[in-house]
């Protein structure tokens, strides 16, 4: 999974080649830990399953958004608001219904 996240994040943020891998790798790990601390777990299914793809899409965007914030900053808070919105969408609220 780290390779997939690294390539996705690099493409989304406009990094090409391997020069940024040494910086982006630890930032991706930090972003994943951040999401884990908020109660978000990475999808546990295999990539072949359709449900996994839908769930994993938001997870990948959340990781890339947090990497963007860590790497470039977010003085206006726009990316932080985006990240909060994504977290609220994918967080498991112990199976309770959202009203």
pLDDT greater than 50 at residue 99: no
DSSP track, 21-40 = HHHHHHHHHHHHHHHHHTT-
Average pLDDT over residues 79-95: 86
Q: What percent of the chain has pLDDT over 70?
A: 83
Boundaries of every domain in the chain: 2-90
Amino acid 90: pLDDT = 85
Angle subtended by helix axes 2-13 and 21-37, to nearest 10? 110
Q: Enter the pTM of the model.
A: 0.78
pLDDT digits (tens, 9 = 90+) for 50-77: 566 777 889 999 999 999 999 999 999 9
How confident is the model at residue 91, as a pLDDT? Answer: 81
| Mean pLDDT confidence for 17-39 | 91
List the single range of 2-16, 22-36, 58-72 with lowest mean pLDDT: 2-16
Mean pLDDT for 25-46 is 86
């Amino acid at each position: 999974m780290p390779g997939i996240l690294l390539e996705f994040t690099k493409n989304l943020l406009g990094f090409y080649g391997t020069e940024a891998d040494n910086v982006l790798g630890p930032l991706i790990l930090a972003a994943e830990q951040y999401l884990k601390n908020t109660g978000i777990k990475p999808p546990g299914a295999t990539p072949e399953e359709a449900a996994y793809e839908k769930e994993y899409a938001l997870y990948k965007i959340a990781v890339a958004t947090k990497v963007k914030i860590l790497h470039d900053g977010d003085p206006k808070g726009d990316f932080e608001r985006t990240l909060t919105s994504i977290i609220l969408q994918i967080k498991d609220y112990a199976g309770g219904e959202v009203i």
